[in-house]
Chains A and B, each alone.
Chain A
Amino acid sequence: MQNKWIRWIILAALGVAVSGSLAFSGEMMSVRIKQGQLRSAPTFLGKILVTLQYRDRVSVLEQKGDWLHVSAHGGKFRGWIHKSALTEKKIELASGNETVGHTATTDEIALAGKGFNRQVEEEFKARNPNIRFDAIDRMEKLQVSQSDIIRFIKQGELSPQGGES
């Protein structure tokens, strides 16, 4: 009788342990920014391994502070990405004029290009032709590379711990 109980308890403990670790390691997330970099270490100073695109799915391997170690492109790349670049939602491309099924809520799925999008911006421009979008386009073009930032930090004798915890 007691033997049976012991077996059940051990099985239950193992079950919880296995389901816990699987749920943690297998969690899928989506890139929620235009472009996000996977890095070799959990810091922006880490080497960039690959650039992921908006909507790309990643599988979470582990978490360290605000950084997630993920696997991307079907396991081809593994690297670190800041949690603010990811969402738990699946981001789907809206297609045609179909409406989303009633079962999906905005908590689970976000639609790329939904609501205020480029088309709305174009319509806004047509209504307000004098608004200076050209200045914003120029502003967005000015790019700063990670090596510029690293040089700036080194030469200025700064000591960033940013984003690590």
Chain B
Amino acid sequence: MKSDRKAGIMRAIFRFMTVFFTIFLPLIWGCKTLNTITDIGTSVAVSTGVISETQGDAISKTTKAVAKTFEDITPEQEYYIGRTVGAMIMNRYKAYENSSVNRYVNVLGQTLAQASDMPETYGGYHFLVLDSSEINAFAAPGGLIFVTRGLLRCCKSEGAVAAVLAHEIGHVQHQHGLQAIDKSRLTTALTTIGTQAARVYGPKELSELTSHFEDAVSDVISTMVNSGYSRSFERQADQASVKILKNVGYSPQALVDMLNVMDQQLKPGGLDFAKTHPSPESRISDIKGQIGETDVSKRSAHRNKRFMAAMRNI
């Protein structure tokens, strides 16, 4: 009788353990990365004396090295690359001196950026209208976004402007600019010089680092302004745009409408957007599935009014 009760208790404990390990642990660690789980395991092992601290460090590091992805570039460095890319764009284009439209695209742009997957960047998002009748837009790494008057003229509603800006935010969020930098160049720059913890670089290192920097910036500019991103990067930016538009409450159909207008405006073989982007028609077919058929957005009179006011002289 007594042993029956003990067996019952044992079964209950085992059942509890099974439930705990299958349900509770994933809940507790569900949003953690592999790194953290390894860290926990390793620290438990170290604290219980199973392995030494040095061994523990080595295990953690190996896991992290495996889990490491993309470039080892800090948001701070991305910011400086982006500033210089932006400054070079401003060598080719003039700023459009109209505070009302610039203010409008900044408030709209910030609203959209906050609804993106990367709302926070080192220096934040900033938007500027370029005084050019070209149909074009650029996103420098870190969140400096430029859009031409020519492109804004294609926008028939606030939703259309939102679609354009959200597409550019998509490029920032996916770090498409940084990915244009030649990989071996970046590795040399970041490992040879970058691991040195000098707060102030000596003349030789500074000179070498600045040359790498110039090359990196020119890689970004050349892709962004001359050759354009791959169709898959453009698709990613369009998909980000649709997601952001939905998140904020704009109809994602605005992106399709915008692409249709551009399809009529762009001249095949032209030097602007037509040169650096896939055809609007192919972009529409890429995102149709994601948008779906329904259009639930409300038409707001105030939205239209402020759009018209901002675009008065565009």
Tell me the A104-144 residues at the B interface (CB within 8 Å): 105-108, 110-121, 123-124, 127-128, 130-133, 135-136, 138-140, 142, 144
Q: Across the interface, do B306 and A156 meet the contact criterion of CB distance under 8 Å? A: yes
- A74: Cβ under 8 A from any B Cβ: no
Of all chain A residues, the one with the shortest Cβ separation from B77 is: A116
- B309: Cβ under 8 A from any A Cβ: no
Contact among A63, A93, A131, A159 with B199 in the assembled complex (CB-CB below 8 Å): A93
A135 to B16 Cα, complex, angstroms:
64
A132 with B213, Cβ < 8 A, contacts A117-B80, A144-B107 known = no
- B312: Cβ under 8 A from any A Cβ: no
Q: Which of under 10, 10 to 19, 20 to 34, or 35 or more describes the interface residues of A?
A: 35 or more
Give the Cβ gap from A122 to chain B, nearest Cβ, in Å.
Answer: 9
Tell me the A72-96 residues at the B interface (CB within 8 Å): 82, 84-85, 88, 92-96
Contact among B190, B210, B302 with A156 in the assembled complex (CB-CB below 8 Å): B302
Q: Across the interface, do A9 and B119 meet the contact criterion of CB distance under 8 Å? A: no
Give the Cβ gap from A11 to chain B, nearest Cβ, in Å.
Answer: 12
Give the Cβ gap from A81 to chain B, nearest Cβ, in Å.
Answer: 8
Of all chain A residues, the one with the shortest Cβ separation from B99 is: A142
A76 to B131 Cα, complex, angstroms:
48
Of all chain A residues, the one with the shortest Cβ separation from B85 is: A136
Q: Across the interface, do A114 and B194 meet the contact criterion of CB distance under 8 Å? A: yes
> CB-CB contacts of B29-44 with A at 8 A, as 1s and 0s?
1011001100110011
- A2: Cβ under 8 A from any B Cβ: yes
A100 with B197, Cβ < 8 A, contacts A10-B13, A107-B68 known = yes
> CB-CB contacts of B164-205 with A at 8 A, as 1s and 0s?
000000000000000000000000011001111111111000
A44 with B43, Cβ < 8 A, contacts A114-B194, A120-B213, A158-B250 known = no
- A50: Cβ under 8 A from any B Cβ: no
B interface, by DSSP: helix, strand, loop or mixed? helix
- A32: Cβ under 8 A from any B Cβ: yes
- B126: Cβ under 8 A from any A Cβ: yes
A130 to B10 Cα, complex, angstroms:
79
Q: Which of under 10, 10 to 19, 20 to 34, or 35 or more describes the interface residues of B?
A: 35 or more
> CB-CB contacts of A7-32 with B at 8 A, as 1s and 0s?
00110010011011101100100001
Contact among B87, B120, B249 with A84 in the assembled complex (CB-CB below 8 Å): B120
Give the Cβ gap from A163 to chain B, nearest Cβ, in Å.
Answer: 6
A106 with B195, Cβ < 8 A, contacts A20-B29, A121-B84, A163-B115 known = yes
Which B residues lie within 8 Å of A94 (CB)?
A: 197-199
A34 to B74 Cα, complex, angstroms:
12
A115 with B144, Cβ < 8 A, contacts A20-B29, A34-B124, A135-B95 known = no
Q: Across the interface, do A157 and B123 meet the contact criterion of CB distance under 8 Å? A: no
- B244: Cβ under 8 A from any A Cβ: yes
- B98: Cβ under 8 A from any A Cβ: no
Which A residues lie within 8 Å of B144 (CB)?
A: 136, 139-140
Q: Across the interface, do A96 and B199 meet the contact criterion of CB distance under 8 Å? A: yes
Which B residues lie within 8 Å of A97 (CB)?
A: 196, 198, 202
The 3 closest A-B pairs by CB, nearest first: A162-B115, A132-B90, A94-B197
What are some 18 contacts across the A-B interface (CB < 8 A)?
Answer: A10-B13, A16-B20, A27-B36, A34-B79, A94-B197, A99-B196, A105-B64, A110-B74, A114-B74, A114-B197, A116-B81, A117-B77, A120-B201, A131-B91, A132-B87, A132-B88, A149-B110, A160-B111
Given contacts A16-B20, A32-B122, 17 further A-B contacts (CB under 8 A): A16-B25, A33-B75, A97-B202, A105-B64, A107-B65, A113-B199, A117-B80, A130-B91, A148-B107, A152-B111, A153-B111, A155-B302, A160-B115, A160-B247, A162-B247, A162-B248, A163-B114
